[in-house]
A and B are shown apart, each in its own frame.
Chain A
């Protein structure tokens, strides 16, 4: 990891230091707190609607679960990947689920596909916990998996759906099992949480979310069109590498690519904003993606000379 300042840059390399005050800590954790709040809120809305009959304007607030749902009794929602798998089984899907999948797809296409992974998916808290344990115990990987396996898993999910005649990933998805367990007590939730936790903590770093999960692969592809991105200011960056240490998908933080584009463009970026919170120079921030052909506001000087 580069801790050297680039040639011609006189700025000293500083590293992130966790503030000692509570207010400072809360500020440093602001994105983490926001993500947990969103994750819990989504779960709570589903749970409250299912068990306590929560209503808004006389309609169930958020019925169903992450596979398919209905917001305010009017807006259909559906997981586009699950619907794609059902279609792969050569079965017709009713219009409502297709519409719901289109709505969800459009939303994540705008905010970033893997925003689902970092901000909504209930498994995220589990893998974050596994990561914390892993760091504490200084665990080393048991084996390595080449990057891109999640895309193979994605393709295999669709092929398996066609062969087995059921939505292949949806049927074994630990995410779905965990989610259904919490909402409807449907079973195997604890098993899947434990499985993913142990795998991530003691077998492979970012093993599930970062390597295997085909749903993550699906959202990575969708994320290529994201309008909300992490902007990168090359001029103020000292290459201290703190962001790389906290990033759950370090592949996406390619400084050369980020400097050229003025932002992190990679589809696998989850917009979790951990890098933003830790950057000691403030070189990173969440922003709308600049339109094609326009110059990013923080145009790196490296390109202007």
Chain B
């Protein structure tokens, strides 16, 4: 069909077209990747998929924004520092109120907010961390505001008493428990310091991992409940040997059953 010069011209045009597309594609890709993956963390609505999956599936329609009864959610602007148009909230301004009905998740048409989230307390938008250096409680004041506003009070935030040592009196400090913290940001909003001393951050940014090779046998979870053998009649078989942790407890062996 294409002979000689025609064919050469056709091929030249095809190559030109592909090259033009590739040029544009490289620039386009740079733009997208720079936007999409530059920021590892944003405070997303409850049930949001992992950041990369979220960015891929969110169509920035704003249905979650409209559904939010407290007008907490906003679509990102150029100054938000996260991908333009994606929904997020700023905890210090308006934290998530953890609606039990989770209207934002119900409103999401694409599944960027996972409808598998049925209990709002299971949401993990981020993790609260305390800047002990600037925390009033750590500085010896009886603040504990974060503890009091926490919607999962007593689970996500507890108050630890540190006995008087070199300080003038005992200090009562907030402790965050990642297994219960939803990352709603109510604590960050309520923190009375000029700049919040408790913040919601990307969990992997601050969370370490102890590892299985450390044994902490004094911890209740490391020491399974051992049934106290009832005074058994002689006829009954001997009670089963109490389950014991694999490690040998040198210090407390006298006091353990």
Q: A94-B110, A100-B109, A166-B56 are in contact. Are A184 and B36 (CB under 8 A)?
A: no
Q: How far is the CB of A161 from chain B (nearest CB, A)?
A: 8
Contacts of B85 in A (CB 8 A): 176-177, 180, 184, 186-187
Beta-carbon contacts of B142-166 to A below 8 Å, as 1s and 0s? 0000000000000000000000000
Selected from B35, B53, B66, B111, the residue in CB contact (under 8 A) with A171 is B35
Closest B residue to A60 using CB positions = B66
B75→A184 contact, CB < 8 A: yes
Q: A180 near B60 (CB under 8 angstroms)?
A: yes
A171 touches B59 (CB 8 A): no
Q: Which residues of B contact A69 (CB under 8 A)?
A: 61, 63
Contacts of B108 on A, CB cut-off 8 Å? 94
Complex interface: chain B residues within 8 A of A152 (CB):
17, 21
Contact status A67-B32, CB under 8 Å? no
Q: Tell me the smallest distance from the CB of A219 to a CB of chain B, in Å.
A: 17
Known: A63-B63, A70-B63. A86 touches B33 (CB 8 A): no
Q: Which chain B residues border A185 with CB–CB below 8 Å?
A: 75, 77
Interface 0/1 of B18-61, CB less than 8 Å to A: 00010011001101110110000000000000001101110111
Number of A interface residues, CB 8 Å? 46
- Chain A: minimal CB distance from B1 (Å): 20
Q: Is A93 an interface residue (CB 8 A)?
A: yes
A78-B59, A176-B60 known; A94-B115 Cβ under 8 A: yes
B192 touches A (CB below 8 Å): no
Instruction: Check if B59 sits within 8 Å of A167, measured CB to CB.
Output: yes
Cα(A184)–Cα(B75), bound, Å: 7
Interface flag for B84 (CB, 8 Å):
yes
The reply to whether the CB of B78 lies closer than 8 angstroms to some CB of chain A is yes
Query: How many angstroms from the CA of A165 to the CA of B34 in the assembled complex?
Result: 12
Q: Which residues of B contact A (CB under 8 A)?
A: 17, 21, 24-25, 28-29, 31-33, 35-36, 52-53, 55-57, 59-63, 65-67, 74-80, 83-85, 107-111, 115
Interface residues of A (CB under 8 A from B): 49-50, 60, 63-65, 67-70, 76, 78-79, 82-83, 86, 89, 91-94, 96-97, 100, 152, 156, 159-160, 163-168, 170-172, 176-177, 180, 183-188
